[in-house]
Amino acid sequence: MTEQIQYFALIPAAGVGARMAAASPKQYLPINGKPMLRLTVDAFLASPLIAHVFVVVSEADGYIAGVLPEAGEGASVLAAGEARVTVLRCGGATRMDSILNGLRAAGERIGAADLVLVHDAARPGLTPGLIAKLITEAGGNPAGGLLALPVVDTVKTTRSGATATIPRDGMWLAQTPQMFSYELLLRALSSAADPSAITDDASAVELLGLSPQLVEGHPRNLKVTLPSDIRIAEMYLAHPEKEEK
In a domain, 2, yes or no: no
In a domain, 222, yes or no: yes
Residue 24 has pLDDT above 80, yes or no: no
pLDDT at 18: 47
- The region of weakest confidence among 1-10, 112-121, 161-170, 173-182 is 1-10
The C-alpha atoms of residue 99 and residue 55 are separated, in whole angstroms, by 10
Q: What is the mean pLDDT of residues 16-37?
A: 78
Q: pLDDT band at 194, cuts 50/70/90?
A: confident
Kindly report the CATH number assigned to the domain that includes residue 73: 3.90.550.10
Is the CA virtual torsion 218, 143, 139, 38 positive or negative? negative
In a domain, 1, yes or no: no
Task: Look at the chain and report how many structural domains it folds into.
Answer: 1
Instruction: Report the percentage of the chain scoring pLDDT > 70.
Output: 91
pLDDT at 21: 46
Q: Residue 180 belongs to what domain range?
A: 7-242
Residue 80 has pLDDT above 70, yes or no: no
Residue 45 has pLDDT above 70, yes or no: yes
The C-alpha atoms of residue 48 and residue 160 are separated, in whole angstroms, by 49
pLDDT at 78: 53
In a domain, 147, yes or no: yes
Q: What is the mean pLDDT of the chain?
A: 90
Angle, vertex CA 204, rays to CA 113 and CA 43, nearest 5: 60
pLDDT at 22: 54
What is each CA distance from 165 to 148, 156, 157, 158, in whole angstroms? 21, 4, 6, 9
- The region of weakest confidence among 21-35, 167-181, 214-228 is 21-35
pTM of the model: 0.92
Residue 75 has pLDDT above 80, yes or no: no
| Residue type at 206 in one-letter notation | E
Instruction: Report the percentage of the chain scoring pLDDT > 90.
Output: 80
Residue 79 has pLDDT above 60, yes or no: no
Question: Which helix (H) or strand (E) covers residue 95, if one does?
Answer: helix 95-105
More confident residue, 89 or 79: 89
Q: pLDDT band at 198, cuts 50/70/90?
A: confident
The C-alpha atoms of residue 178 and residue 215 are separated, in whole angstroms, by 10
Angle, vertex CA 244, rays to CA 212 and CA 141, nearest 5: 20
The C-alpha atoms of residue 30 and residue 10 are separated, in whole angstroms, by 21
Where residue 169 falls (left for φ over 0; alpha for ψ -120 to 50; beta otherwise) is beta
pLDDT per position as a tens digit, 105-164: 999 999 999 999 999 999 999 999 999 999 999 999 999 999 999 999 999 999 999 999
- The region of weakest confidence among 18-22, 171-175, 218-222 is 18-22
In a domain, 166, yes or no: yes
**DSSP β-ladder status, 145-150 and 172-181:** antiparallel
